[in-house]
A and B are shown apart, each in its own frame.
Chain A
């Protein structure tokens, strides 16, 4: 998609953001970014807001710093201040991650970092260049109880602990991670997500870490390779989150592998989806997947592209939006049926909010209280 077209349809600020992304990926010279700025009236507040929504402030700073003489100084200072503060947060989280990882291993729990910090180091070469919030660790399902003990001994509180303690089997069946948090010294929160499964329960895709990464997925020797991360991030950013922001597209561009064998069969369509979106918006890969072949894929790509560009769309997808996109993306009636069934099952299945709110003797009883809770919520919202 041409920058001029983006400028005409979605505004100069979004076009500038995409120029920055392309320059960061070395598919557009920085001089072209300068040329664009000189020719357009830019609202720098909007550029900042868009960079924040798309979680790419460090990338935008990195590129615009090279042409800072023509950029609004107060905007550059605001970006710089954020990047400085974020670096300190990132360093602090890296240190805490390493400390907790060592502690888990000392207690005989195989564990390793992935996504977030670890991915930023592998893909971007600088942990401060990729905005992130959580610290992600892979563990084995059979070690959840041990992990809880270690985390609690360090002052961490488990999210949905009442649910887990009452119904551990249901919890592990319907969740992919156990998460813990505690206040950090800088007034923020340390938030760990300990993943025992890579896919969400709602997804029709079925795979585990062993299949995705290999038998040695918890090995402490070395980092995951770029091609392993390409596979993991197609799953995480694509199959799980439907490429919700520009950072999710850049992530994959940073570890792109054109080897078709890198991606297992079921994930191929999500890789093609990324190629269509990233090829169109970031010109990376340069050879975009051709239109045609799969109407559902083309429609999903068009829907997500509009969502990414329309500005208001860059928010975490709601449950119903995800279901809608999943149905749009499915390429046969059987898969669509499975998605609808899963969605209905998910809707009626009691969750942490039901269990936290009311203590009942049997899990099955929550199937009756959930509709009451949802109805009460709807009434409350309508009254407001």
Chain B
């Protein structure tokens, strides 16, 4: 049994959200998605939705972190850690395109 190998995400990587295989709905600041291939639902919280919205166009992870620090009262180190964790998670769901 082989597991998919995803590119390693670092601050200088450029990413773009993958909407192709998803049905998407915006509820307030939250985003609800369904993978049309397997019918799986994914609910993204407010901060995650903010990141999702920032990836409407290709963007570097460092600029996402900068925007989040400006928006939320958060330390850079913590922001980087949580942003990368979120991006890794959505990458596993095929919701991320790494350029």
A residues within 8 Å of B by Cβ?
A: 58, 61-62, 65, 68, 80, 83-84, 87-88, 90-92, 94-95, 98, 126-129
A136 CB to nearest B CB, Å: 18
3 closest A-B pairs by beta carbon, nearest first, are A128-B25, A91-B34, A65-B28
In the bound complex, residues from chain A placing their C-beta under 8 Å from that of B78 are none
CA distance A90 to B36 in the complex (A): 12
Contact with A along B11-43 (1 / 0, CB 8 A): 000000000000111111110101010010101
A247 CB to nearest B CB, Å: 17
Known: A84-B43, A88-B41, A92-B39. A128 touches B27 (CB 8 A): yes
Known: A84-B32, A84-B43. A91 touches B27 (CB 8 A): no
In the bound complex, residues from chain A placing their C-beta under 8 Å from that of B23 are 90-91, 94-95, 127
- Would you call A87 and B25 a contact (CB within 8 A)? yes
Query: In this complex, what residue of B is CB-closest to A64?
Result: B28
- Would you call B39 and A87 a contact (CB within 8 A)? no
In the bound complex, residues from chain A placing their C-beta under 8 Å from that of B28 are 61-62, 65, 68, 80
We find that the number of chain B residues with CB closer than 8 angstroms to chain A is: 14
In the bound complex, residues from chain B placing their C-beta under 8 Å from that of A91 are 23, 25, 32, 34, 41
A95: which of B24, B26, B34 is its contact (CB, 8 Å)?
A: B34
B59 CB to nearest A CB, Å: 23
CA distance A351 to B71 in the complex (A): 62
In the bound complex, residues from chain B placing their C-beta under 8 Å from that of A61 are 27-28
CA distance A118 to B87 in the complex (A): 32
* Contacts beyond the supplied A91-B25, A126-B25: 15 A-B pairs with Cβ under 8 Å: A58-B27, A62-B28, A65-B28, A65-B29, A68-B28, A80-B27, A80-B28, A84-B27, A84-B30, A84-B32, A87-B25, A91-B34, A95-B34, A98-B36, A127-B25
A334 CB to nearest B CB, Å: 49
Known: A61-B27, A94-B23, A127-B25. A87 touches B36 (CB 8 A): no
A259 CB to nearest B CB, Å: 31
30 intermolecular pairs with C-beta atoms under 8 Å apart:
A58-B27, A61-B27, A61-B28, A62-B28, A65-B28, A65-B29, A68-B28, A80-B27, A80-B28, A83-B27, A87-B25, A88-B32, A88-B34, A88-B41, A90-B23, A90-B25, A91-B25, A91-B32, A91-B41, A92-B39, A94-B23, A95-B23, A95-B34, A95-B36, A95-B39, A98-B36, A126-B26, A127-B25, A128-B25, A129-B25
